[in-house]
Structure 1
């Protein structure tokens, strides 16, 4: 057992160091040097944890300290103090490249598991716990921002708007949470043929989307899909999952820090949305369920998705657009196949 080590002594009043020897005698640390002799109970001495190859200090109760690189001696002192060997183990990992790589890999795995599994769960809990008034405010402000930036008033006829509104009410009639849901019509060259859901129950259909649908049965599938997004609050969950800071604060405080600032992030997130496969499967399942209930061939919805994807690719090749929501949806061909498989 190592019972002593050389050290540099600082009295705590000046920066001048003095060479001393620190010795362990029973449960007492004795510091001795030229014209210096002091002793301290080991239990009252604080020892710095190891950090790389830097010197560590012993801090004495009278304000003095002693620096030394004698790691084994300091580890023995901590053991005698009854301190857990945690710091020593961490130091060994830190000093070993192989162990450091293992620790880095473990950290990466923990972060991946948190992002992949914990964040979606937290986002879902926050989205469904959000007060209705806050969600309504976010929805209104998001719509206002979109109207100022990428959307213009619809050019659809009044009759066509009334027909689609009636269809939307029929599609959402089976949703118990449908109160306050509404359909909005907008024209947008940048968005092209699109339909998307905002928080608070707002579904936006562009003129190009209404013109793309050849029959109301096709439009019913699209509206049922968006109703599925609304019922499961996918828009809020999507943004929350991609705003870790907002999500954590919301979990801790029970509210979103600022509805206005949160709403400001939604337009970009929705226009460029890449909903997860799980979100899209849930919304597609809602569309398929409605169509089957109404005895409408599921193939109609699959054909609409395929035609929509082809339209967007054609527009994209002609000229770049601001938003390509359906293009960016995960693997449209896979979605079409899944829908057809459910027929």
Structure 2
């Protein structure tokens, strides 16, 4: 079947998934998303993490997570400092057979150990933070997800990435405040209030409600109202808030577990336009079927129905991972 050059990116991706060859996970090492110049993409996406990160449901406060987050951080830190790589919380693994997913969990362990000067627990994996390229809200969802979807090391690594970006952003906001004060010293207290309110609005736009509750901040709407009032009162034109590193994930993208070789892995948001491009050939990884997919069927036309069912199940298992991308 040919893929129409006039189809939308989402339809082209659907067609490519339908036609893509499959390789058993057991036959692969860590999967890769190929470089821009390559023509092959081996895409491995962990469904449970996709659902936790990208599902379209109301962002509501998880009261138990917000109330217990400081205790979680304290317990995790105490174990790491006291027991190093023997800490029980570092022994957690995700419920996944995906080699890339497991590599990311191992890398998160190495990362948190490196931050306290401890040697790596997994010599074959790097010590880089695997969440370094995710948008802020995805990081917030990981850090404050106490359901067991993510390991304690992954939650800690996500939180540490948030903290690192917050520190950079705070420095930039402080520099902006000082610049405004130099222009008009008589309003120094006002500039501090305005720049901090504007910064808080930026952060709240990409923060989960659970993190907001943990921080004890007001709602985005209330902060935006305060900001609008301050801008009206400002004696000078108000500059935009400083850039926030990796604030948002790209639109129309899916979360992929990506191995980059040499023991380095990361989560990456891959655009459907990139996956649907003509110069990209998709290779999918087969995993054990779910009970629903493996249930017996009673087709009325065995030959055609079996063939159609096989294709349907193949596409279904992968499209489930794309279900929350806009335009699907």
TM-score band, normalised by shorter chain: under 0.3
- For normalisation by structure 1, the TM-score amounts to 0.24
Larger relative contact order (C-alpha < 8 A, sep ≥ 6)? 2
Larger Rg: 1
- Greater percentage in strand: 1
- For normalisation by structure 2, the TM-score amounts to 0.25
